[in-house]
Amino acid sequence: MSSGGVNPAAGVTWAKARAGTSVISAASSVSSSSASSAASSSAGTGIAADPYRIYDCVQLQAISQLAANYLVMNDIDCSDSVNWNGGLGFTPIAGTFTGTFDGGNHLINGLTINRPSYDYVGLFEHLGSLNGQAATITNLNLRTISFNGRNYMGGIAAIVDGTNVSVTNSSVTGAMTFGSAGGYGGLFGNFVGGTISKAWSNVAMNVYAGGTSNNIGMGGIIGGGGNAIVSNSYSLGAMPAAGTCSYVCFAGGIAGITTNTVISNSYAVGSNTANYGGGIVAQFSSGMTCTNSYFDSQTTGISSSTCGTAETTALMKQQVTYTTYPSNWDFSSVWQILAGGYPTLR
């Protein structure tokens, strides 16, 4: 696809082809090569034992069965999404997703969303619900995203609600640009309830010129929210990487603004120049538990923080920092340290 007028969301739908099989069908608004690929490559019925299978970015854009199960089958190149919808790029998957999305430990590369006047920007707009509907995200890896939006933004989802939301083994790299009030996180903009485990990000948070930048919560994993559990996670990106907070920006290595949240065995190293910065969390009102979590005081520019322990760069790159009592990080099955580097997830 190369035309600036391409609109895959309007031209691709999930369709029943024969008993026990589902495929993508594509209308003429998608290029013939993409339509051929989409129509011939996807199968599955959407149930847990037979998920819809996703092979390319057109099929990713076509997700509409919000309670179904999906599995990514190979690395996906979404770099041409910069040309979709007259330059607006990928359309965030709308509605409340309460299914299962398994990224298969593959990479989804180059996803672009360029909607500076739109709220709720992310791969998904909304995960889970407060009435108990679940959503599961696992093995999802987004690389070199380029997102531009207004209120609430996350690499995976803008909004997450509900204690039955589970996110594991997922990561995001790239850049986000925003400038209004709301929550902005490397993985999730606003995360209420649910659990995040074995997640990481390297996302540059950019505040655009002319934005109000009023009461922004930005974090490497979650921008704002509460009643969450985050474990074995880390962030590397700068906050803000470009631009200036005109009013109030709460930026934390893991979470910007949160309450009644438990964070454990996590770390952050990205530069933090927000006017209200925290090593792990920038602001919390009550019920915060922060255990065995660390931030690099030299690279973040933060010398102390209520949540998290400040360490030098040299100590952040030594396994003993994370295994000396009372810290108990698992370096046999969860973490590893390569020579001269920070810990990474296995």
3-state secondary structure the chain: CCCCCCCHHHHEEEEEEECCEEEEEECCCCCHHHHHHHHHHCCCCCECCECEEECCHHHHHCCCCCCCEEEECCCEECHHHHHHHHHCECCCEEEEECCEEECCCCEEECCEEECCCCCCECCEEEECCCCCCCEEEECCEEEEEEEECCCCEECCEEEEECCCEEEEEEEEEEEEEECCCEEEECCEEEEECCEEEEEEEEEEEEECCCCCCCCEEEECCEEEEECCEEEEEEECCCECCECCCCCCEEEECCEEEECCCEEECCEECCCECCCEEECCEEEECCCCEEECCEEEHHHHCCCCCCCCEEECHHHHCCCHHHHCCCCCCCCCCCEEECCCCCEEEC
At 105-152, the pLDDT tens digits run: 999 999 999 999 999 999 999 999 877 788 999 999 999 999 999 889
Does the pLDDT value for residue 3 go beyond 60?
Answer: no
* Residue 16 covered by a domain: yes
Residue 92: band (very low, low, confident or very high) from pLDDT cuts 50, 70, 90: very high
Residue 253's pLDDT is what? 96
* Residue 62 covered by a domain: yes
Share of the chain above pLDDT 70, in %: 86
At 19-54, the pLDDT tens digits run: 232 333 333 233 333 433 443 346 899 999 999 999
Domains in the chain: how many in total? 2
Residue 33's pLDDT is what? 38
User: 39 and 134: one domain?
Assistant: no
* Residue 29 covered by a domain: yes
* Residue 110 covered by a domain: yes
Does the pLDDT value for residue 160 go beyond 70?
Answer: yes
* Residue 330 covered by a domain: yes
User: 170 and 291: one domain?
Assistant: yes
User: 160 and 112: one domain?
Assistant: yes
Reported pTM: 0.89
Query: By residue range, what is the domain housing residue 230?
Result: 75-339
User: 177 and 325: one domain?
Assistant: yes
User: 57 and 165: one domain?
Assistant: no
Note whether 124 and 91 are within 8 A (CB): no
Q: Omega before 326 cis (within 30°)? A: yes
Note whether 243 and 209 are within 8 A (CB): yes
**Mean pLDDT on 3-24:** 39
Does the pLDDT value for residue 189 go beyond 90?
Answer: yes
**CA nearest 196: which of 236, 238, 154, 237?**
154
At 50-80, the pLDDT tens digits run: 999 999 999 999 999 999 999 999 999 999 9
Residue whose entry in the numeric block shows the structure tokens 């929550």? 183
Does the pLDDT value for residue 11 go beyond 80?
Answer: no
Q: What is the greatest pairwise CA distance in the chain?
A: 62
Residue 214: band (very low, low, confident or very high) from pLDDT cuts 50, 70, 90: low
User: 25 and 112: one domain?
Assistant: no
CATH of the domain at 253: 2.160.20
* Residue 127 covered by a domain: yes
User: 189 and 316: one domain?
Assistant: yes
Rounded CA-CA distance 4/211 in Å is: 27
Residue 29's pLDDT is what? 35
User: 306 and 170: one domain?
Assistant: yes
Note whether 100 and 69 are within 8 A (CB): yes
Residue 212's pLDDT is what? 52
Of 42, 66, 90, the position where a domain reaches its end is: 66
* Residue 4 covered by a domain: no
**CA nearest 95: which of 122, 125, 121?**
125
User: 308 and 169: one domain?
Assistant: yes
* Residue 6 covered by a domain: no
User: 314 and 190: one domain?
Assistant: yes
Note whether 205 and 238 are within 8 A (CB): yes
Residue 9's pLDDT is what? 47
User: 125 and 81: one domain?
Assistant: yes
User: 245 and 276: one domain?
Assistant: yes
Q: What average pLDDT does the structure give for the chain?
A: 87
Note whether 227 and 193 are within 8 A (CB): yes
Query: Going by C-beta distance under 8 Å and a sequence separation of 6 or more, which residues neighbour residue 18?
Result: none
